[in-house]
């Protein structure tokens, strides 16, 4: 029982050793939740040591589950008030995206949704989808504002097969299948579509996927910028029409907001800044002159200004407020995390 004799709220967070999940777990614990989280191998301390550390913050149970193992999430979801679905397959360099990324994404999300239906206690399921399910579509010219009605064009990505095309397709199909299942089984369901997510996190190993991990690592490694990290950023900008950013703490606050807000429903884009690589590089060079931004990498084909903006007007209109609203506010934390992880020199 929680303070005042009221029942303590319980949340399940899938994929607990991931970047975004680690921030959300800590935030939930700090806000009085009991948390159950899932990992594929609880004994792997190289990936899970931060979870052990967070058990000092509040009641956190770490359980084994695998997206592709039917029923393996039953125990984690049982008795929970909320289920935050963050775990997802990430295989950006797969030679066979259909078999190794898209099919596992859909199968995995339905596996967890079945556990939510079976539990009978879950008040709301909150899926962390991705802006990759919103912005992957042909858009000519500039001035486009994308909201929750926008969906990535699966046929376009499948035909074009540009870099990481399977990731966007997997996000669309997984989100739509989860929504369909929720409607058929009477599950209260919302999805959050975050953009490039940066900032400090309890997890010390930063994922490089284009969904739940898109952490500070590829951005921070612009100081100095290596070409592999630049290609990640360039790929996002080319696919999206801008370089959209949100701080991890704001994303997780938004996840909690749509979980707890009675009227929340449907999709929510979570984006606090729409910029470009060029604008970002100039900002970084001015604010952190001690780090060299290799501007020669910016010389061909990059955008001077965003031609697309991802809008969080719906989220803001329902009462949410971003804490980190400018590059200045976001990057103080990003740089501190880069130093802590050894990505940046002190």
Tens digits of per-residue pLDDT, 227-248?
Answer: 666 677 778 888 899 999 999 9
For residue range 279-329, what is the model confidence (pLDDT) as tens digits? 888 888 888 887 766 665 566 667 889 999 999 999 999 999 999 999 999
d(CA 128, CA 100): 20
Q: Which is it for strands 273-275 and 308-310: parallel, antiparallel or unpaired?
A: unpaired
* pLDDT above 60 (res 208): no
Beta-strand ranges (E) seen in the chain are: 10-13, 34-39, 60-64, 82-85, 124-128, 144-146, 189-194, 196-198, 243-247, 266-270, 273-275, 308-310
Q: Indicate the angle between helix axes 277-287 and 327-340, nearest 10 degrees.
A: 70
d(CA 75, CA 88): 19
Q: Max alpha carbon distance in the chain (Å)?
A: 62
d(CA 333, CA 145): 28
Q: What is the pLDDT of residue 289?
A: 80
Closest CA relative to residue 310, chosen from 130, 96, 112: 130
> Please, are residues 110 and 177 in contact by the beta-carbon 8 Å criterion?
yes
Q: Indicate the angle between helix axes 19-30 and 248-260, nearest 10 degrees.
A: 60
Reported confidence tier of residue 223, pLDDT bands at 50, 70, 90:
very low
What is the overall mean pLDDT for the chain?
87
Q: What is the pLDDT of residue 215?
A: 28
Count Cβ atoms below 10 Å from residue 179 Cβ, excluding itself.
20
d(CA 313, CA 15): 28
* pLDDT above 50 (res 174): yes
- For the CA atoms of 329, 302, 90, 315, the dihedral, rounded to the nearest 10 degrees, stands at 50
Domain boundaries, the chain: 10-341
Average pLDDT rounded to a whole number, residues 38-53: 92
Rg (CA), the chain: 19
- CATH number for the domain running over 10-341: 3.40.50.720
* pLDDT above 50 (res 135): yes
């Amino acid at each position: 029982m929680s303070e005042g004799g009221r029942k303590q709220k319980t949340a399940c967070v899938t994929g607990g050793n991931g970047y975004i999940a680690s921030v959300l777990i800590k935030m939930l614990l700090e806000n009085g939740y009991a948390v159950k989280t899932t990992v594929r191998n609880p004994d792997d301390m190289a990936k899970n040591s931060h979870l052990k550390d967070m058990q000092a913050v509040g009641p956190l149970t770490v359980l084994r589950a695998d997206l592709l193992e039917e029923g393996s999430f039953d125990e984690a979801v049982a008795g929970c008030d909320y289920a935050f679905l963050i775990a997802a397959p990430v295989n950006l360099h797969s030679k066979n995206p259909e078999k190794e990324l898209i099919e596992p994404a859909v199968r995995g999300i339905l596996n967890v949704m079945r556990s939510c239906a079976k539990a009978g206690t879950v008040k709301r399921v909150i899926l962390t989808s991705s802006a990759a399910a919103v912005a992957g579509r042909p858009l000519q010219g500039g001035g486009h504002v994308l909201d929750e009605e926008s969906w990535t064009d699966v046929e376009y990505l499948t035909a074009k097969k540009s870099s990481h095309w399977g990731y966007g397709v997997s996000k669309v199909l997984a989100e739509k299948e989860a929504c369909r299942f929720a409607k058929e089984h009477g599950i209260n369901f919302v999805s959050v579509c975050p953009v490039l997510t940066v900032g400090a996190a309890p997890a010390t190993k930063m994922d490089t996927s284009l969904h739940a991990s898109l952490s500070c690592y590829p951005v921070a490694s612009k100081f100095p910028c290596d070409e592999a990290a630049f290609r990640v950023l360039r790929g996002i900008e080319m696919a999206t029409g801008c370089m959209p950013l949100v701080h991890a703490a704001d994303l997780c606050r938004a996840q909690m907001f749509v979980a707890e807000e009675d009227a929340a429903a449907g999709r929510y884009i979570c984006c606090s800044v729409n910029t470009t690589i060029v604008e970002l590089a100039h900002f970084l060079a001015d604010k952190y002159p001690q780090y060299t931004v290799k501007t020669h990498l910016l010389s061909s084909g990059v955008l001077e200004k965003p031609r697309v903006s991802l809008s969080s007007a719906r989220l803001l209109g329902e009462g949410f407020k971003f804490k980190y609203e400018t590059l200045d506010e976001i990057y103080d934390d990003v740089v501190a995390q880069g130093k802590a992880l050894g990505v940046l020199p002190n």
